[in-house]
Amino acid sequence: MEESHKKVLQRYRINIVTGLDPLSVFDRLLEKGVFTQDMIDKIKSSGTRRDQARQLARDLETRGSRAFPLFLESLHESDQHSLAELLQSGAPAVQGSTTNRLVFPVVRTLPVPSAVDFQKQIKTTVVPTPTLSPERETLQSHTQVRARMQGRTRRDSLQSYKMDARPCGHCLIINNVAFEPQSELSDRSGSNIDCDKLERRFQELNFMVEVKTNLKQRKIKQELLGLSKKDHSPYDCCVVIILSHGTEVSHNRFPGAVYGVDGQYVPVQHVTNYLNGKHCPSLQGKPKLFFIQACGGGERDRGFEVFDEVEPSNSGEDDQTDAIPMSSSSDSLSMSDEPDARATLPTPSDILVSYSTFPGYVSWRDTQSGSWYIETLDRILEENAATDDLVTMLMMVNHEVSQNSAKGIYKQMPGSFNFLRKLLYFQTLS
């Protein structure tokens, strides 16, 4: 496929996923030789209508120079004119290709029968009750199709978050690198690499990114409180990323804590409290995402022996951890345990916390290339954000990081606490 046509499919991927009816174009694409029956069967088995539409768009990019115009023809033939015209508006014409001539519906004047013909028709035709004129039948047919499409859209709205605001929302990155001597915590060499990667990545995902560096515990809380006080009404999502040392603490919701550069920590469950549906009303019902690159404790995972697995990769000699021994202090926020009996949704709903490592274990960071988790997360988002939902991509991150070995011995297993109610697909800029 022409590179320009691939870019059109990627630019309007969200429109294809939300608006395409794949079942109506499968046979047409098969007849035109765009897909084989095996390929169509594979697309059908990919899941929901949205999943099938996403897989179809992805596979279409591999089907040669004629695939794009033939796809547009198939859309028009199946009465999906709006989507076809949207894609065509962003695509250059295909030189010398007869398949680029799209077939539009032809409007013809209805024949008016003579009086004799009309009498014959009355005598010979069994007319169902109630009767509709051809114009009314066409109108009713279009109304029914429109109603089915609206119903399908309503069902899809229950499956995926709205993520089309421009910009999509705020993204706060807290990057703690240089720790004060009294903290007895080492500097986190390589963290600036992580920070730069994520700043670029979330800008490309259409977020307003703000980076804060080397914050003490009190300043971390102030930044989170300030973020919670913003009006998020025009936006669809909010992201908080914390790169720091961490430890294991007592908790009743989300495990772990992150350190300020002064050696005082903030529990992760308190980090999430600032933005939950109770304390940040303008984010109610909207996804709130937290990415934590810090150790969950001090234990080093040596893994276990497996067979028939991918050969694990060994990282460099400069691997460091972000681990601090467990503390029993809860450092409670006064607002964290108040009842919320009148809420229409559970207080922690629409929250996802992605940890670089399993609670209780260390998280590895290369001083030259950054942390395993952030490096992998950045690449997975770059390669898959246009087609896959967030939870699927995090599973990809989990798998890839689990294949690494620090100093040829130690392992790492990222994971998430997922309280999202719907699928989440990021915007991808063309």
The CATH code of the domain that includes 340 is 3.40.50.1460
How is residue 299 annotated by DSSP? B
Residue burial 377-410, b: 16+ Cβ < 10 Å; e: rest: bbebbeebbbbbbbeebbebbbebbbebbbeeeb
Give pLDDT tens digits for 206-233.
999 999 999 999 999 999 999 999 999 9
Q: Which domain, by its residues, includes 19?
A: 3-94
Q: Which two tokens stand for residue 374?
A: 């952030």
The answer as to whether 129 is a domain residue is no
**C-alpha span between 367 and 189 (Å, rounded):** 5
Same domain, 83 and 176: no
| Residue after which a domain boundary falls, among 94, 123, 157 | 94
- For residue 214, what are its two tokens? 């080397």
Share of the chain above pLDDT 70, in %: 67
Distance CA 28, CA 70 (A): 9
> Are 58 and 181 members of one domain?
no
In this structure, the answer to whether residues 78 and 173 fall within a common structural domain is no
The answer to whether position 153 is within a domain reads: no
Whether residues 245 and 376 share a domain: the answer is yes
Of the listed 5, 76, 170, 245, which one is catalytic?
Answer: 245
Of 65, 94, 123, the domain-final residue? 94
Annotated catalytic residue 251: no
* Integer Cα distance of 265 and 327 in angstroms: 10
Average pLDDT for 155-184: 88
SS3 183: helix
Give the per-residue pLDDT at 309: 43
Residues 237 and 384 in one domain: yes
**Looking at the 3D structure of the chain, how many domains does it have?**
2
Residues 187 and 328 in one domain: yes
In terms of domains, do 231 and 325 share one?
yes
For 329, the token pair is 């202090």
Q: Which of residues 59, 94, 129 is at a domain's end? A: 94
Of residues 168, 195, 237, 295, which has the active-site annotation? 295
If residue 4 lies in a helix (H) or strand (E), which one and from where to where? helix 3-11
The answer to whether residue 128 is domain-embedded is no
Which H helix or E strand runs over 354? strand 351-355
Q: How many CB atoms lie within 10 A of CB 161?
A: 20
- Residue 261, pLDDT > 50, answer yes
- 89 in any annotated domain: yes
What lies within 8 Å, CB to CB, of 375 at 6+ separation is 194, 197, 366, 369
- Domain-located, residue 130: no
Q: In this model, does residue 386 exceed pLDDT 60?
A: yes
Average per-residue pLDDT for the chain: 77
Residues near 114 by Cβ (< 8 Å), separated by ≥ 6? none
What does the pLDDT read at residue 331? 35
In a shared domain, residues 177 and 38: no
- Angle formed by the axes of helices 49-60 and 134-157, nearest 10°: 90
In a domain, 240, yes or no: yes
Residue 200 maps to a domain: yes
Q: Are residues 185 and 89 in the same domain?
A: no
Do residues 342 and 214 share a domain? yes
Q: Residue 85's domain is classified under what CATH number? A: 1.10.533.10
* Exposed / middle / buried, residue 370 (Cβ in 10 Å: 0-12, 13-18, 19+): buried
Residue 375: inside a domain, yes or no?
Answer: yes
Cβ 276 vs Cβ 348: under 8 Å: yes
Note the pTM of the prediction, 2 decimals: 0.56
- Does the annotation count 295 as an active-site position? yes
Question: 64 with 5: CB under 8 angstroms?
Answer: no
> How confident is the model at residue 359, as a pLDDT?
64
